[in-house]
């Protein structure tokens, strides 16, 4: 009789977990559909990196303009532009510009252009806890990398339940490092300059330009 009860409990738990996973997948699908519905997106964000074992505690702010797979990113004093073919990394402190092609083989790199949809491949996902943030209900989805070689232990994706827009991304590394990206403002379908993603070397006459390929 005990074995029968245990089996029933196990099956009930399995069904419950499958339901939660489907629930998580449905919410992620809604987020993806919402993101793809916009012509462009402008985000102001806050970034933090902590590791108590190594006594690391850093914070920074940044902003990014997304238009399809193109992007214009300002972060930690560096400007990064991707025009759909080449990436231009501009470092004013060193007066240096690096030009390179996108590394299509690096599946783990969360580039700005896939920052809001990176979760669609390479992860198992689970329904996690809800939180109230200044009157907004944020529902968390836990993402666990499929690859055991991945340096990330898990990622918590906070989604605004009312808008289906990502509020924050919390990445927890196997080495104890925790990085958090929080969206401060989210604007869509804004008028952009036709040269928004065009790199012009004439703007940087004294910079050293390093072409990697």
What was the pLDDT predicted at 106? 54
Q: Please check the confidence at residue 107 and state whether its pLDDT lies above 60.
A: no
The model's pLDDT over 175-192, given as tens digits with 9 standing for 90+, comes to 999 999 999 999 999 999
Reported confidence tier of residue 19, pLDDT bands at 50, 70, 90: very low
- The rounded distance, in Å, linking the Cα atoms of 204 and 181 is 30
192 vs 110 pLDDT, higher one: 192
Q: What is the mean pLDDT of residues 114-135?
A: 89
What was the pLDDT predicted at 4? 46
Q: What is the mean pLDDT of the chain?
A: 87
- The rounded distance, in Å, linking the Cα atoms of 140 and 92 is 37
What was the pLDDT predicted at 157? 95
What was the pLDDT predicted at 150? 92
Domain ranges in the chain are: 2-70+109-190
Give percent above pLDDT 90 in the chain: 74
- The rounded distance, in Å, linking the Cα atoms of 138 and 21 is 17
Reported confidence tier of residue 109, pLDDT bands at 50, 70, 90: low
Reported confidence tier of residue 20, pLDDT bands at 50, 70, 90: low
Q: What fold is seen in the domain 2-70+109-190?
A: outer membrane lipoprotein receptor (LolB), chain A (2.50.20)
Q: Please check the confidence at residue 113 and state whether its pLDDT lies above 80.
A: no
pTM value is 0.83
The model's pLDDT over 48-62, given as tens digits with 9 standing for 90+, comes to 999 988 899 999 999
Reported confidence tier of residue 1, pLDDT bands at 50, 70, 90: low
What was the pLDDT predicted at 16? 40
């Amino acid at each position: 009789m005990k074995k029968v009860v245990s089996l029933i409990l196990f099956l009930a738990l399995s069904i419950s977990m499958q339901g939660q996973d489907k629930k998580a997948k449905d919410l992620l699908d809604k987020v993806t559909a919402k993101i793809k519905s916009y012509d462009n997106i402008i985000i102001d964000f806050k970034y933090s990196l902590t590791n108590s074992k190594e006594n690391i505690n850093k914070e920074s702010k940044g902003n990014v303009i997304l238009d399809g797979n193109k992007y214009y990113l300002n972060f930690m004093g560096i400007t990064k532009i991707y025009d759909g073919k080449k990436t231009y990394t501009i470092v004013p402190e060193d007066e240096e510009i690096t030009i390179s092609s996108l590394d299509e083989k690096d599946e783990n790199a969360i580039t700005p252009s896939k920052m809001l949809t990176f979760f669609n491949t390479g992860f198992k996902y689970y329904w996690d806890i809800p939180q109230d943030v200044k009157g907004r209900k944020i529902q968390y989805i836990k993402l666990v990398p499929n690859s055991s070689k991945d340096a990330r232990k898990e990622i918590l994706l906070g989604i605004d339940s009312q808008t289906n827009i990502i509020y924050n991304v919390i990445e927890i590394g196997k080495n104890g490092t925790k990085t958090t990206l929080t969206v401060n403002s989210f604007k869509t379908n804004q008028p952009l300059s036709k040269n928004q993603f065009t790199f012009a070397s004439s703007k940087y006459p004294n910079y050293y330009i390093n072409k990697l390929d």
